[in-house]
């Protein structure tokens, strides 16, 4: 009995031991997947980002977006890529032209040229320092220059490279023969630049379309009235054309002769069209003195010989800063456009192309404004003053081709007849 009891006890103990070992094995198997190590290799932080919205906002990794941001910033816009492409081509073209111009002798002859000493000097300095090219300007009038070109082209011995003038003379002359080279300056094609007057607009005139870009617009002079402020009280400064009939002006006013090509003819054309013949007769009957040399007229006003020059431009006042002369708006201001062309067969066509590009480049426009007092036609050039800001003046519309070629010549004939009747010589 004692032995049997002992075996029973041992059996129970053995069974208990087996149970204990089984439990231990089960515990070991549940620890094997190791949830804790999974939490270290895949942190719980990303899992909550899909759960509570608050944590998603704070924990949302800026890394993927931040990584993409620099790539987006570096990707250029279409406008920027267009400008970069233009700039690369522009630099290459200018470098090539400058090199070819130097090889051709490094000289450039311009008929008419800036005509204002300060602007002429600044232009010469720019070309010499930037490209090593010497610029010579022959400052004679358009009629003489055109006769010179015709003679040289007929003799096949062209001496000048470039021609500057105005539409009234330039447009009809360009159609007489194959005088000028079709060339669009790359500065006129710069992406993003806005213009008060686009350089390539002459080619849009139907009558000039066959010339392509043989003529460009280069500047924009504003013509108004130049007065001597010592002689003209503030209450006598004209605010409109009717004020010009005031007897105060009798014998005190100069006017550029409208019987010849120039600003006087331009003013006469506008005045006759807008105010009529009766007004024009009254105006010229009010003791007006005619002049055919604007710089001389400006000097006469500056020195007090006359009180006003009607039809003066800011560019002619450039050398009289220390005098009492100033430009005023007599109701409306007249825009007078400057034109220019490369002469075919000239000795240095590459230098001429450089010059044509310079005239409408930012540097060229700034030089014309700073030293020639011409408002820039490029609107990315900051005006020096209101005098150079085309948005500040009440401007008449520029003349069309028909105005220049048909109407203004008719008005010269009308002016000749009318002034003869009024006793003008």
Q: Give 341-398 pLDDT, tens digit per residue.
A: 999 999 999 999 999 999 999 999 999 999 888 899 999 999 988 878 888 888 898 8
Among 51-65, 310-324, 365-379, where is mean pLDDT lowest? 51-65
Within 13 Å of residue 152, how many CA atoms lie on the same side as its CB?
18
Domain ranges in the chain are 83-220+337-391, 222-335+410-421
- Across the chain, what does the average pLDDT equal? 84
pLDDT, tens digit, 9 for 90 and up, residues 396-411: 988 989 999 899 999 9
> pTM, whole model, 2 decimals?
0.72
Q: Which tens digit of pLDDT belongs to each residue from 257-302?
A: 999 988 899 999 999 999 999 999 999 999 999 999 888 999 999 9
Cβ atoms 257, 291 nearer than 8 A: yes
Least Cα distance to 145 among 155, 134, 157, 137 occurs for 137
Q: Do 83-220+337-391 and 222-335+410-421 show the same overall fold?
A: yes
Residue with tokens 């007229």: 297
pLDDT band at 163 (very low <50, low <70, confident <90, very high): very high
User: Please, what CATH class does the domain formed by 83-220+337-391 belong to?
Assistant: alpha beta
- The CATH label, of 3.50.40.10, 3.30.365.10, 2.40.30.30, 3.40.190.10, for the domain at 222-335+410-421 is 3.40.190.10
Query: Which uninterrupted H or E stretch holds 222?
Result: strand 216-228
Nearest to 133 by CA among 103, 166, 102: 102
Residue 57 confidence (pLDDT): 39
Quote the CA–CA distance of 406 and 249 in Å, as a whole number: 32
Q: What is the pLDDT of residues 90-109, one digit of tens each?
A: 999 999 999 999 999 999 99
- The token pair that represents 350 in the structure block: 């590459």
């Amino acid at each position: 009995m004692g032995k049997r009891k002992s075996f029973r006890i041992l059996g129970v103990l053995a069974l208990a031991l087996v149970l204990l070992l089984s439990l231990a094995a089960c515990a070991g198997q549940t620890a094997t997947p190791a949830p804790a190590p999974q939490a270290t290799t895949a942190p719980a932080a990303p899992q909550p980002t899909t759960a509570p919205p608050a944590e998603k906002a704070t924990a949302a990794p800026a890394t993927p977006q931040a990584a993409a941001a620099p790539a987006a910033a570096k990707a250029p816009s279409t406008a920027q890529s267009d400008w970069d492409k233009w700039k690369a081509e522009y630099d290459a073209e200018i470098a090539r032209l400058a090199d070819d111009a130097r090889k051709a002798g490094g000289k450039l002859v311009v008929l008419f040229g800036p005509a204002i000493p300060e602007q002429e000097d600044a232009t010469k300095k720019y070309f010499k320092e930037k490209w090593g090219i010497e610029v010579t300007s022959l400052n004679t009038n358009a009629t003489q220059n055109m006769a010179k070109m015709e003679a040289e082209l007929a003799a096949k011995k062209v001496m000048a490279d470039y021609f500057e003038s105005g539409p009234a003379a330039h447009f009809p002359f360009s159609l007489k023969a194959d005088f000028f080279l079709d060339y669009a300056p790359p500065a006129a094609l710069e992406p993003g630049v806005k213009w008060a007057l686009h350089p390539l607009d002459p080619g849009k005139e139907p009558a000039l379309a066959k010339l392509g870009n043989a003529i460009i617009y280069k500047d924009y002079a504003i013509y108004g009235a130049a007065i001597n402020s010592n002689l003209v009280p503030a209450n006598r400064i004209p605010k409109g054309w009717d004020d010009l009939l005031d007897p105060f002006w009798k014998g005190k006013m100069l006017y550029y002769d409208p019987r010849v090509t120039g600003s006087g003819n331009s003013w006469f054309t506008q005045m006759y069209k807008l105010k009529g013949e009766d007004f024009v007769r009254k105006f010229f009957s009010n003791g007006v003195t005619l002049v055919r040399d604007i710089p001389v007229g400006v000097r006469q006003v500056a020195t007090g010989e006359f009180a006003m020059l009607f039809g003066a431009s800011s560019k002619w006042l450039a050398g009289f800063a220390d005098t009492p002369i100033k430009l005023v708006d007599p109701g409306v201001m007249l825009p007078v456009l400057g034109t220019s062309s490369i002469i075919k067969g000239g000795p240095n066509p590459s230098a001429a192309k450089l010059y044509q590009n310079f005239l409408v480049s930012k540097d060229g426009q700034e030089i014309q404004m700073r030293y020639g007092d011409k408002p820039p036609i490029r609107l990315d050039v900051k005006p020096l003053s209101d005098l150079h800001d085309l948005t500040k003046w009440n401007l008449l519309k520029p003349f069309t081709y028909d105005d220049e070629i048909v109407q203004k010549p008719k008005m010269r004939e009308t002016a000749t007849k009318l002034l003869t009747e009024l006793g003008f010589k």
